[in-house]
Copies of this chain bind each other. A is one copy, B any other.
């Protein structure tokens, strides 16, 4: 079994080879941080780097370069680190681009992540949590007790069905159908007798089929009343009919939990995803990060870079040897720059995606008390798309439910609403799924739309006109992977894990490696 580790190894050596064209650019490179000793006695010792943006890419780059003694300066427009990693809690105040100001009044200790909220086991985000001492806990990304609720031309339309029931029926009928086809000989050109025997054995178990190969329901569906002691065998829920199950599309979201970056176990920092960035901030040092610094100009100069910014109403400038620009690509074009026209065109090819969340603080954990839900999400084809249940404060008195996390058109339905209207729409749709209790015991709420959020104006970008999370080797994307003289671009938008912190970190590491190799050369 191959190790999945992506850390460790000799990054600098490879980086040097890579810039000489001796190593394939697409190979997996184990990253090694630049180290203090690498440049001793070299001309580049103590090179200065100005980093635009204090989100995941910017802070990761500053942190890694700092290890080797680079003179780094991070300029961040917001008053907090993390960028689109934003944990909203008591006291969080934001005025959005609609002009509306919200202030969060959640009870102490409660929060929700308006941006990134979960970490797959394979992502180097977890390595940074370990390295920076950020405590992690499981994130409920799958739950048999959460609900699906979809419209269809079947009697199931608009019904709230537990995932466990939807899965049992779908897998049951799927198994029954395949077993029937195989036993009829319909697949004899592709299945041997041994294959058929092994398949039948799998399907019996996978679909919970009867001895004659039929799906007649399953304890996996759940019970009207739970089995207990004595002769209380529970009151098993009846399955839906086969045709209704299939045509209702109950299984349309099953594959989510097999996804490479969504399959359990998933993790998240205790207390909020932004804990990673306050930890980065501590490790980098406050003297190296200027918050409230709105960058206005970025120029290559002879032998360096010059960045202008406004802070507390005053124009200021930083001159440095290099710049790493991690600003959203859609915002770079607004700066005064001397970047070439083809670079500016390439930046415009990154199209901001519409997405956002609404956090609803309830003073009663009805999802535990009544629906017996401990984390995970309910899915629907309504505009809210999903309802995400908290993965903390189990059995507490209150909790924050994410009333929607949606993208594209379904988020746009909320984007231009006032916060109060968003809450009303979310509660109406949520009540149609979880019942009247969804509208009761609401203590407070907070919402955000990334396209209407200053300094971001997008949740992430799509290179191909979609909201897909993969990088693409288009000329525009590829163009931005190379530095423009002394200006480097980094961010999740230049990775194959767009919208993931992992993408921002790997991009930052690539740039750090390339920059360090250049300085060392």
Contacts and interface: CB of A to CB of B under 8 A. Distances in A.
Interface in A490-508: 490, 494-497, 502-503, 506-507
Tell which of A123, A234, A395, A470 has the most Cβ of chain B within 10 Å. Answer: A395
Interface in A210-267: 219-220, 222-235, 242-243, 246-247, 249, 251-252, 254-255, 258-260, 263-265, 267
Copies in the complex: 2
A11 to B, nearest CB: 12
Contact of A231 (B26, B162, B220): B26
A394 B137 contact: yes
Contacts of A265: 140, 142-145, 373-376
Given A190-B242, A242-B190, A394-B267, A147 B229 contact: no
Given A230-B25, A243-B195, A6 B496 contact: no
A357 interface: no
A180 interface: yes
A3 B371 contact: yes
Given A121-B145, A265-B143, A167 B232 contact: no
Interface residues on A, range: 35 or more
A260 B177 contact: no
Contacts of A464: none
Contact of A226 (B4, B434, B494): B4
Nearest to A478: B231
A180 B174 contact: no
Nearest to A159: B1
A243 B509 contact: no
Interface stretch (A65-73, A76-84, A91-99, A201-209): A201-209
A227 B178 contact: no
Contacts of A497: 227-228
Contact of A181 (B29, B178, B258, B373): B178
A372 interface: yes
Contacts of A224: 2, 28
A506 B229 contact: yes
Contact of A264 (B142, B198, B231): B142
A227 B222 CA distance: 39
A27 B265 CA distance: 38
A164 interface: yes
Contacts of A206: 251, 254-255
A495 B230 contact: yes
Given A231-B481, A234-B496, A219 B5 contact: no
A346 interface: no
A437 to B, nearest CB: 9
Given A228-B496, A230-B507, A144 B263 contact: yes
Interface in A126-182: 126, 129-130, 135-138, 140, 142-145, 147, 160, 162, 164, 167-168, 170-171, 174, 177-178, 180-182
A164 B264 contact: no
A252 B4 contact: no
Given A26-B232, A391-B138, A181 B174 contact: no
A517 to B, nearest CB: 14
Contact of A232 (B186, B202, B490, B496): B496
A330 B355 CA distance: 60
A490 B228 CA distance: 12
16 contacts: A4-B222, A28-B225, A28-B234, A135-B394, A136-B395, A164-B258, A177-B190, A177-B191, A180-B190, A186-B186, A194-B247, A195-B242, A227-B497, A230-B494, A230-B495, A265-B373
Interface of A: 1-6, 25-29, 121-123, 126, 129-130, 135-138, 140, 142-145, 147, 160, 162, 164, 167-168, 170-171, 174, 177-178, 180-182, 184, 186-187, 190-192, 194-195, 198-199, 201-202, 205-206, 208, 219-220, 222-235, 242-243, 246-247, 249, 251-252, 254-255, 258-260, 263-265, 267, 368-376, 391, 394-395, 434-435, 470-471, 473, 478, 481, 490, 494-497, 502-503, 506-507, 509-510
